[in-house]
């Protein structure tokens, strides 16, 4: 027994030493990558400076720049002067994901002089089908570093600045002040309001886009940028959306899905609008009415445009009675998370109403009498599912809840038509509900009990805690991770 304990202690010591060595190697790798990135950026800057020096006094661009940008400079709407404006421009892209990657790709290709990227995430394999600046070899690397690595290879004439953290209210004004134009390439309301407020308060035009599943939206906001109270300025994000959507109505790409070309289309359109704003002639912004562009990949026509109103007279940030200031943003008194609300991921069921995947798998053999209801939508159910489970999407369950709520108080609760007869007629077998992450399944358990299927506690109705995310961790590591 003592020999076994001694061996265990020795193995623990060896593991700790290996982990310490791995941590040291990761730090060294990170430092080496940063040094290499700075070196590439500096080399590009030196090359650009040398080229400018050689042609100074004769031609405004180097010979290589004329060759590189010639095809776009001969477009009448751009011309040489437009190209020079692009070279002098500084654009900040917030978000180096599905929108930010194609936007950065085309802005760098077009010759924008300085591109800043803000993002605190690291590259994951699930990003690669749509985030076109990242490659398989860069999985685990910070997205801004991965993106700048690609962009530097594409165009060394531009300068790239990495902001390696998620945008925070305390830092946003100091970051934004050095740029001419902002691109909102994020995917959550709190950050969208922060970006718009900061852009308006600092007088920066903003190109905002979003995409989910097969649809996207695009707006050019605060264009032209005007001081608060000036009605000739373009509307801001708050003018279009004075109140954020309910927190529980927000669907992320991870939950709702996204087609790569859809988000790519919106990112490319952001780059196009940015070029138009940066190269616009004086006074043309006032002549362009604000609008919301809606893209739907499976509709005909695919593009629709909705005219937007001008600035709201009671807008909290761009009206004469604005209540949001740079100080309120920096200090945190403008709490964007509180303003937009959060979805509480905590348990809404008691511990007796929940089982872990490990407990479910251990206590129930395949031939044990029970019912398993999978409340994911059908397309996810078709990707992978438990044997003999029944697919009843949560949307179907919630729809029937509405009709149940409208019945008279003395009426018996009718069983909905979507409930299979083997579940409705079986009063003894327990019901287990599962979903992707363990949230919808809790709601479904509540609804099934309200329908009377639990018979006052006599019949067991529980959810599988953590859903298939936990199932993969506890039971089946080969379960598809999508």
Instruction: Please pick, among 8, 185, 253, 384, the residue that the annotation labels catalytic.
Output: 253
Is residue 337 a contact partner of residue 190, using CB atoms and an 8 Å limit?
yes
- Known binder of ligand: residue 136? no
> Does 143 count as an annotated binding residue?
yes
Q: Find out whether 126 is annotated in a ligand binding site.
A: yes
340 is in an annotated binding site: no
Q: Is 4 marked as a binding-site residue?
A: no
Question: Is 469 assigned to a binding site?
Answer: no
388 is in an annotated binding site: no
* Catalytic-residue membership of 8: no
129 among annotated binding-site residues: yes
384 is in an annotated binding site: no
Q: Does residue 253 carry a catalytic annotation? A: yes
- Determine if residue 101 is labeled as part of a ligand binding site: no
The one catalytic residue among 101, 185, 340, 435: 435
Cβ burial, residue 325 (10 Å; 0-12/13-18/19+) = middle
- Flag whether 187 is marked binding: yes
Question: Is 8 among the annotated ligand-binding positions?
Answer: no
The residues annotated with a catalytic role in the active site are 253, 435
Indicate the annotated binding residues: 98, 119, 126-130, 143, 187-188, 236, 239, 315, 318
List binding-site positions for Zn(2+): 236, 239, 315, 318
Annotated binding site for ATP: 98, 119, 126-130, 143, 187-188
């Amino acid at each position: 027994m003592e020999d076994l304990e001694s061996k265990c202690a020795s193995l623990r010591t060896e593991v700790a030493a290996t982990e310490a060595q791995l941590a040291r190697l990761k730090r060294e790798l990170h430092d080496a990558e940063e040094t290499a990135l700075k070196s590439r950026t500096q080399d590009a800057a030196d090359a650009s400076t040398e080229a400018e020096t050689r042609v100074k006094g004769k031609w405004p661009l180097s010979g290589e720049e004329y060759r590189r940008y010639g095809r776009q400079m001969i477009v009448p709407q751009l011309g040489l002067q437009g190209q020079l404006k692009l070279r002098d421009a500084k654009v900040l892209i917030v978000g180096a994901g599905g929108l930010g990657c194609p936007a950065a790709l085309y802005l760098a290709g077009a010759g924008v002089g300085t591109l800043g990227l803000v993002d605190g995430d690291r590259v994951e394999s699930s990003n690669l089908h749509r985030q076109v600046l990242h490659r398989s070899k860069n999985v685990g690397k910070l997205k801004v570093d991965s993106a700048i690595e690609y962009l530097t290879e594409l165009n060394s004439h531009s300068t790239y600045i990495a902001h390696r953290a998620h945008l925070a209210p305390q830092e946003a004004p100091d970051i934004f002040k050095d740029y001419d134009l902002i691109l909102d390439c994020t995917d959550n309301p709190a950050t969208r309001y922060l970006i718009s407020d900061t852009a308006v308060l600092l007088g920066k035009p903003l190109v905002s886009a979003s995409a989910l599943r097969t649809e996207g939206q695009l707006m050019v906001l605060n264009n032209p940028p005007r001081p608060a109270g000036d009605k000739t300025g373009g509307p801001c994000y708050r003018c279009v959306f004075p109140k954020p959507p309910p927190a529980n109505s927000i669907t992320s790409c991870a939950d709702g899905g996204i087609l790569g070309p859809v988000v790519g289309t919106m990112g490319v359109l952001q780059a196009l609008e940015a070029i138009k704003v940066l190269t616009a002639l004086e006074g043309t912004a006032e002549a362009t009415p604000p609008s919301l562009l809606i893209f739907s990949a499976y509709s005909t026509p695919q593009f629709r445009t909705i005219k937007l109103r001008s600035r709201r007279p009671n807008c909290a940030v761009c009206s004469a009675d604005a209540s949001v200031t740079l100080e309120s943003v920096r200090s945190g008194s403008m709490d964007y998370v509180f303003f937009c609300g959060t979805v509480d991921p905590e348990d809404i069921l008691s511990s007796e109403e929940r089982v872990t995947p490990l407990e479910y798998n251990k206590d129930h053999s395949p031939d044990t009498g029970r019912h398993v209801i999978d409340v994911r939508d059908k397309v996810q159910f078709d990707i992978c599912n438990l044997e003999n489970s029944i697919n009843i999407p949560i949307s179907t369950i919630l729809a029937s809840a509405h009709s149940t709520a409208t019945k008279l108080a003395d009426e018996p609760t009718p069983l909905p038509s979507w409930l299979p007869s083997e579940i409705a007629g079986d009063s003894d077998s327990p019901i287990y509900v599962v979903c992707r992450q363990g949230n919808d399944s809790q709601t479904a358990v509540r609804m099934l009990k309200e329908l009377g299927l639990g018979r006052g506690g006599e019949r067991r109705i529980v959810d599988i805690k953590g859903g298939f995310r936990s199932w993969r961790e506890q039971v089946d590591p080969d379960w598809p991770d999508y």
